[in-house]
């Protein structure tokens, strides 16, 4: 059924890229439609960033209560209801999804539910879902369908014995033991969450450190703290011969020439993502792809004129905040509001305990590139606020150009690291030097003083170490 409305833009996908693009286009006065398979918010809001942070907050609170004696407070009979914890997480996602629906109405974005398929440039057909059969004529199309969790071949995901992050976010029953395959951000966060409530967690990573893309010293702190918490971390280890039974999962953990058989209630696959292009193109539509992801130019336009793409669907780093930035840039560019920018600098965050946040280059990368650099490092155990809060683990580390003092990278592990990284993000965006951070007065006592002190250590002028 053809739609009588001619749109300026139809966005396919309603996640952080899709809904941001639709809202921004609405703000620019354009006639916009957004087609989303489920409800607005996409994976991030409904099955990723937001509900997982609700789970992690429950784990953090439960852990703090268990250690409240450290603060001179006694609490008796502490217990938890796993189903309520999961239920609260889903409720948070519900609330946020309603917020996006409100923003669509506020910005006059038409929302359609179903699978958006591109048959020809200038037309999107809804081929499945409640709005199936509707055809949306449009001047421009933005693909923002994101990614879906990667699975292993011949291993059926049943939501109980075998899960991806999506099934883990709505677990009906807490597993007594679990093997988590992949120690990136998703794997590390679920390891922390489940372990906090008593699940026996084995975290397995093929590469040589947990959080493989992070600075090696940062990863070492996380591995050490995870071990203290009781998480069994296995690095440089592969998982082979997975066999799913009625009541458990058996597998081999292989490290070099050593093999160990292990049995657990469940296995969680946190091994990355694949581009979500299912149902996106009709057989007549041929867009250039690279490893399954849509190839775009500097204006976010694909190989077919008038069809754009942004967010996870164009490839790594697969971060919600990057997706939002790209989508807004794409929309502003396609409608002549401003010249679009490609992402060059972005923070990455992991919300386990201790938290991890970083931006820019790691030491390993700088050494590979032969860049002359200096290191400034300040431990949270020397921070009055961190010690007073009983959170002295971790540090702030800044990497700077040896000659000019330009900030090349920043790495934080510890309390509220994901909030603290913003200062360095702004500093690097403004091309601030490490000296300017050093000479900026920070309030006392705060955790943010550590960012100033780390800068001061570059010059050997830190006061508190």
Rg, Å, the chain Cα set: 24
pLDDT reported for residue 1: 53
Whether residue 263 is found in the same domain as residue 302 = no
Q: In what order do the strands lie in the sheet with 355-360?
A: 347-350, 355-360, 407-414, 394-401, 373-379
Whether residue 293 is found in the same domain as residue 330 = yes
Cα–Cα distance, 267 to 453 (Å, whole number): 42
Whether residue 256 is found in the same domain as residue 278 = no
pLDDT reported for residue 43: 84
pLDDT digits (tens, 9 = 90+) for 30-68: 999 999 998 888 888 888 899 999 999 999 999 999 999
Say if 342 falls within a structural domain. no
Provide DSSP, 238-271: EEEEEEE-SS-EEEEEEETTEEEEEEESEEEE-S
Whether residue 375 is found in the same domain as residue 285 = no
Q: What is residue 296's three-state secondary structure?
A: coil
Whether residue 366 is found in the same domain as residue 392 = yes
Is the torsion defined by CA of 126, 131, 135, 137 positive or negative?
Answer: negative
pLDDT reported for residue 40: 85
Whether residue 118 is found in the same domain as residue 252 = no
| Domain boundary pick from 227, 253, 271 | 271
pLDDT reported for residue 42: 85
- CATH number of the domain to which 360 belongs: 3.30.390.30
Whether residue 283 is found in the same domain as residue 257 = no
- Look up the pTM and report it: 0.95
Question: Helix-strand-coil percent breakdown of the chain, rounded to 5?
Answer: 35, 30, 40
- CATH number of the domain to which 138 belongs: 3.50.50.60
Say if 157 falls within a structural domain. no
- Domain containing residue 229: 162-271
Say if 156 falls within a structural domain. no
The total number of structural domains that make up the chain: 3
pLDDT reported for residue 385: 97
Average per-residue pLDDT for the chain: 96
Whether residue 266 is found in the same domain as residue 280 = no
Q: Interior CA angle at 135 toward 133 and 140, to 5°?
A: 145
Whether residue 144 is found in the same domain as residue 23 = yes
pLDDT reported for residue 230: 98
Whether residue 446 is found in the same domain as residue 372 = yes
Rounded to the nearest 5°, which phi and psi values hold at 445?
Answer: -95, 130
pLDDT reported for residue 41: 87
The segments of the chain whose pLDDT lies below 70 read 1-4
Whether residue 143 is found in the same domain as residue 28 = yes
Cite the active site residues: 444
Which parts of 107-159 fold into alpha helices (H)? none
Whether residue 19 is found in the same domain as residue 95 = yes
pLDDT reported for residue 138: 98
């Amino acid at each position: 059924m053809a739609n009588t409305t001619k749109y300026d833009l139809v966005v396919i996908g309603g996640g952080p890229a899709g809904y941001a693009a639709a809202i921004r286009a609405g703000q620019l006065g354009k006639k916009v439609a957004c087609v989303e398979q489920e409800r607005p918010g996409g994976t991030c809001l409904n099955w990723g960033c937001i509900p997982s942070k609700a789970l992690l907050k429950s784990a953090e609170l439960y852990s703090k209560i268990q250690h409240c004696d450290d603060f001179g407070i006694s609490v008796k009979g502490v217990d938890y209801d796993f189903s309520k914890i999961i239920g609260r997480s889903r409720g948070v996602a519900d609330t946020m999804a309603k917020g996006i629906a409100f923003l669509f109405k506020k910005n006059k974005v038409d929302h359609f539910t179903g699978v958006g398929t591109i048959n020809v440039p200038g037309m999107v057909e809804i081929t499945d879902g409640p709005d199936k059969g509707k055809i949306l004529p449009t001047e421009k199309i933005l693909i923002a369908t994101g990614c879906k969790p990667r699975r292993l071949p011949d291993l059926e995901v049943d939501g109980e014995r075998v899960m991806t992050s999506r099934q883990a976010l709505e677990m009906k029953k807490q597993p007594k033991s679990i093997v988590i395959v992949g120690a990136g951000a998703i794997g590390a966060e679920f390891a922390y969450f489940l372990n906090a409530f008593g699940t026996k967690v084995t975290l397995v990573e093929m590469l040589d450190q947990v959080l493989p893309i992070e600075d090696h010293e940062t990863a070492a702190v996380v591995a050490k703290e995870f071990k203290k918490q009781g998480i069994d971390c296995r690095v440089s280890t592969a998982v082979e011969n997975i066999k799913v039974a009625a009541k458990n999962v058996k597998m081999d953990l292989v490290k070099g020439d050593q093999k160990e058989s292990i049995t657990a209630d469940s296995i969680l696959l946190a091994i990355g993502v694949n581009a979500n292009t299912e149902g996106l193109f009709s057989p007549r539509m041929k867009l250039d792809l690279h490893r399954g992801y849509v190839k775009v130019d500097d204006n976010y336009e694909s190989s077919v004129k008038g069809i754009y793409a942004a967010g996870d669907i164009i490839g790594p780093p697969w971060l919600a905040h990057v997706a939002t930035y790209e989508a807004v840039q794409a929309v502003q560019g396609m409608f002549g509001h401003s010249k679009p920018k490609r992402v060059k600098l972005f923070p990455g965050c992991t919300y386990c305990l201790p938290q991890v946040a970083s931006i820019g280059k790691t030491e390993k990368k700088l050494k590979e590139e032969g860049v002359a650099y200096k290191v400034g490092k300040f431990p949270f155990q020397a921070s009055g606020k961190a010690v007073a809060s009983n959170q002295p683990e971790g540090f702030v580390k800044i990497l700077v150009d040896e000659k000019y003092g330009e900030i090349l990278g920043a790495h934080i592990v510890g309390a509220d690291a994901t909030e603290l990284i913003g200062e360095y993000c702004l500093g690097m965006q403004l091309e601030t030097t490490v000296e300017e951070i050093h000479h900026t007065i920070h309030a006392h006592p705060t955790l943010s003083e550590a960012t100033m002190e780390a800068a001061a250590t570059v010059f050997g002028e830190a006061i508190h170490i």
